[in-house]
Amino acid sequence: MSPRDALPALPPDAARRIADNLARLRTEVARAAARAGRDAGSVQLVAVTKYAPAAATRILHELGVRDFGESTVQGLARKREELGPLPGARWHLIGHLQRNKVARTLELAAAIHSIDSTRLAAEVALQSRRRGLPVPELYVEVNWSGDPGKTGLLPAAVRSVLAALAAEGLAARGLMGMAPHSDDPEAARPTFRGLRQLRDALVEGGALASGAGLSMGMSGDYRVAVEEGATVIRVGSLLLAGLEGGGPASGA
């Protein structure tokens, strides 16, 4: 969805539509997991609320969703302020993080999916110590394709950031990555498979802990991501499909 597609108000049957979308998503995750010989319970859903009004986010919470993602620190702060307390809710920063916003992020987020430099890793550690705040779950972002228009580390640079975290007494929860945009979900498979193989190699080499996760897969390619080992999928537009009379959008 683009900014102009943001939903200013919800139709009267919004709760039913969102519930139907969530049920279909969970069914498809279970099927994809079964095809890969996995337990669907090993896949965590982060509902991306970037363009969702607060009312839609609240409906998702009422339906049992507990993990919500925003692309910017400002968006995360605004959504939390709009919603007020949501029991059990965990907020994820899934977009690029600037070092001057680390302190605020530590106040707001339970997970950061975009650690992409040794300097950012050091800043997270510094601000956590300075402010006495817990360190969120940290995912190191990988730019698998080397696309200059995307953020994230080239695969060869991942070890240095993991080492920087370890030097600060921190550990990454896993890796995060995005596949190049395509209307064909299968086009994402090489990226997701490559990320899984990189994760496995890093675990084998001791740079990542056993059980390290993979944050990958969005509305258009989450099935392939689950088949390739995703432990976290970041889905937004699919959960809001039909609220404006349209079908599922691509994007998060």
CATH number of domain containing 218: 3.20.20.10
Please state, in angstroms and rounded to a whole number, the distance separating the CA atoms of residues 131 and 193.
38
Q: Is residue 97 situated within a structural domain? A: yes
The total number of structural domains in the chain stands at 1
Q: Is residue 251 situated within a structural domain? A: no
> What pLDDT is recorded for position 80?
94
Cβ density class 111-137: b for 16+ within 10 Å, e for less: bbbbbbbbebbbbbbebbeeeeeebbb
Show the domain range for 64.
3-240
Q: How confident is the model at residue 249 (pLDDT cuts 50, 70, 90)?
A: very low
| pLDDT tens column, 84-106 | 989 999 999 999 999 999 999 99
Q: What is the mean pLDDT of residues 22-41?
A: 98
Distances from the Cα of 147 to the Cαs of 173, 180, 182, 194, in angstroms? 24, 8, 14, 15
Spatial CB neighbours of 114, under 8 Å, sequence gap ≥ 6: 93, 94, 95, 96, 97, 139, 141, 151, 152, 176
Q: Is residue 247 situated within a structural domain? A: no
Q: Is residue 197 situated within a structural domain? A: yes
**What does the mean pLDDT of the chain come to?**
92
Span of 89-93, 119-123, 239-243, 248-252 with lowest mean pLDDT: 248-252
Q: What is the mean pLDDT of residues 199-207?
A: 98
Q: Is residue 202 situated within a structural domain? A: yes
The total of other beta-carbon atoms located within 10 Å of residue 110's CB is 15
Please state, in angstroms and rounded to a whole number, the distance separating the CA atoms of residues 215 and 40.
15
The total of other beta-carbon atoms located within 10 Å of residue 20's CB is 13
Q: Is residue 231 situated within a structural domain? A: yes
Q: What is the pTM of this model?
A: 0.92
Q: Is residue 250 situated within a structural domain? A: no
| pLDDT tens column, 175-200 | 999 999 899 999 999 999 999 999 99
Q: How confident is the model at residue 12 (pLDDT cuts 50, 70, 90)?
A: confident
Q: Is residue 248 situated within a structural domain? A: no
